[in-house]
Amino acid sequence: MPRRRSTARGRERRVGVELEMTGLELNDIAELVAARLNLSISTDGRYRRVLAGDPAGEWAVELDFDFLQRLGHEERGAEDLLDELRDSAEDLLKALADLVVPLELVSPPLPLHRLHEIEDVIRLLREAGARGTSDSVGYAFAMQFNPEMPGLSARDVTPYLQAFLCLYDWLLMRAKVDLTRRITSYIDPFPLDYVRQVVRPGYAPDLDTLIDDYLAFNPTRNRALDFLPLFLHLDEERVRAVVDDPLVKPRPALHYRLPNCDIHRPEWGFRVAWNDWLQVESLAASPRRLASCCDAYARFLSRPLQRWLGDWAHEVASTWLRR
pLDDT at 183: 57
Residue 19's pLDDT is 96
pLDDT score for 156: 97
Please, which residues bridge with residue 48 across strands? 62
Instruction: Give the pLDDT of residue 92.
Output: 47
Q: How confident is the model at residue 264 (pLDDT cuts 50, 70, 90)?
A: very high
DSSP string, 42-60: EE-STTEEEEE--TT--EE
How many CB atoms lie under 10 A from the CB of residue 125? 24
pLDDT score of 25: 92
Q: What are phi and psi of 161, to 5 degrees?
A: -65, -45
- By the 10 Å C-beta count (0-12 exposed, 13-18 middle, 19+ buried), 89 is classed as exposed
Residue 190 confidence (pLDDT) above 60: yes
Give the per-residue pLDDT at 73: 42
Q: 10: exposed, middle or buried (C-beta count within 10 Å: 0-12, 13-18, 19+)? A: exposed
What pTM does this model have?
Answer: 0.87
| pLDDT at site 91 | 52
pLDDT at 218: 97
* Residue 137 and residue 39 in contact, taking contact as beta carbons nearer than 8 Å: no
More confident residue, 161 or 141: 161
- CB within 8 Å of 156: residues ≥ 6 apart: 8, 149, 150
Question: Is the pLDDT at 185 greater than 70, yes or no?
Answer: no
pLDDT at 206 > cutoff 70: yes
Q: Give the residue, 132 or 254, on which the prediction is more confident.
A: 254
pLDDT over 70 percentage in the chain: 83
Contact 16, 295 (CB under 8 A): no
Lowest-confidence segment of 89-103, 156-170, 196-210, 252-266 by average pLDDT:
89-103
Tell me which of 189 and 233 has the higher pLDDT.
233
Residue 181: the pLDDT is: 58
Q: 26-37 and 116-128 helices cross at what angle (nearest 10)? A: 140
Q: Catalogue the E-assigned strands of the chain.
A: 14-21, 40-43, 48-52, 59-63, 103-106, 110-111, 143-147, 225-226, 255-256
CA separation for the pair 99, 28 (Å, rounded): 18
Q: What is the pLDDT of residues 42-93, one digit of tens each?
A: 998 888 999 999 999 999 999 865 534 444 444 545 455 445 444 544 454 4
pLDDT at 140 > cutoff 90: no
pLDDT at 309: 74
Percent of the chain at pLDDT above 90? 72
Strands 48-52 and 110-111: unpaired
- Give the DSSP per-residue string, 168-213: HHHHHHHHT--HHHHTSSTTPPPPHHHHHHHHSTT----HHHHHHH
Give the domain ranges of the chain.
12-130, 150-256+278-323
The Cα–Cα gap between 68 and 78 comes to 19
Does residue 77 sit in helix, strand or coil?
coil
Query: How many of the other CB atoms lie within 10 Å of CB of 237?
Result: 7
Tell whether the model's pLDDT for residue 302 goes beyond 80: yes
Half-sphere exposure of 53 (CA within 13 A, CB side): 11
Residue 230, number of CB atoms within 10 A of its CB: 23
**Average model confidence (pLDDT) across the chain:** 87
Predicted local distance difference test score (pLDDT) of residue 68: 42
